[in-house]
């Protein structure tokens, strides 16, 4: 699609969204537009990323990745400013961080290094001490864990106005990718050694 066609589509979409918003404000009635097909990845495709996980666990995590696909579509389409934009970034980052936490815990349980009730902070430290990832990744995971902990709103110190970027969501996605790579590499090395 060329830029002119994209700009026209954006304009039409914006006009339609204003019409729907007016309807919502007047009636408070759910509109129920179907989500665009093809953007949400299939569960079985997502599960292939984690061959070391139990089927039920990987299914649950794949469902959260599908939620993240929906969030990613919205993040790519809408520009939300003010403090709502900052909170939206947080809202979209939290499920990604939850996937990271679950992957680390499940991998630690698989390796018999910890139990499922181990706190996220300790999980990060144990997997670092076992050589799954380096100190820089450990520090990044701790920062994301602290950010995730703002789920407890009394821990949230201040909500700043959004600058339009999606810093925390993007950080979480990069950390998830790196975590998945490190876990797979470690699991493959363990499998070869056995």
- pLDDT tens, position by position, 139-186: 999 999 998 987 766 666 677 766 766 688 999 999 999 999 999 999
- Is the C-alpha dihedral spanning 77, 80, 86, 91 positive or negative? negative
User: Which residues, including other chains, have CB under 8 Å from residue 148's CB and lie 6 or more apart?
Assistant: 93, 94, 97, 98, 101, 120
pLDDT surpasses 70 at 129: yes
- pLDDT tens, position by position, 11-59: 999 999 999 999 999 999 988 899 999 999 999 999 999 999 999 999 9
pLDDT value at position 84?
Answer: 86
pTM of structure: 0.91
Give phi and psi for 150, each to the nearest 5. Answer: -70, 0
DSSP 132: S
- pLDDT tens, position by position, 49-100: 999 999 999 999 999 999 999 999 999 899 888 888 888 888 999 999 999 9
Topology of domain 36-193 in CATH is 1.20.120
pLDDT surpasses 80 at 106: yes
Instruction: Please report, for the chain, the start and end positions of each structural domain, with discontinuous segments joined by +.
Output: 1-33, 36-193
Decide if 116 contacts 102 (C-beta within 8 A): no
């Amino acid at each position: 699609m060329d830029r002119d066609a994209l700009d026209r589509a954006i304009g039409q979409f914006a006009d339609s969204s204003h019409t729907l918003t007016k309807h919502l404000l007047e009636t408070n009635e759910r509109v129920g537009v179907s989500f665009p097909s093809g953007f949400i990845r299939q569960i079985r495709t997502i599960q292939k990323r984690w061959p070391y996980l139990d089927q039920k666990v990987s299914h649950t995590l794949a469902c959260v990745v599908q939620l993240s696909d929906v969030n990613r579509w919205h993040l790519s389409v809408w520009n939300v400013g003010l403090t709502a934009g900052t909170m939206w970034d947080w809202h979209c980052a939290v499920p990604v961080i939850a996937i990271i936490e679950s992957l680390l815990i499940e991998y630690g349980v698989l390796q018999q290094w910890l139990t499922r009730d181990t706190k996220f902070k300790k999980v990060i430290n144990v997997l670092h001490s076992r050589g799954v990832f380096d100190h820089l990744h450990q520090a990044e995971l701790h920062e994301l864990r602290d950010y995730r902990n703002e789920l407890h709103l009394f821990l949230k110190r201040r909500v700043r106005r959004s600058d339009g970027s999606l810093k925390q969501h993007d950080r979480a996605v990069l950390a998830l990718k790196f975590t998945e790579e490190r876990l797979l590499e470690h699991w493959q090395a363990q499998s070869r050694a056995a």
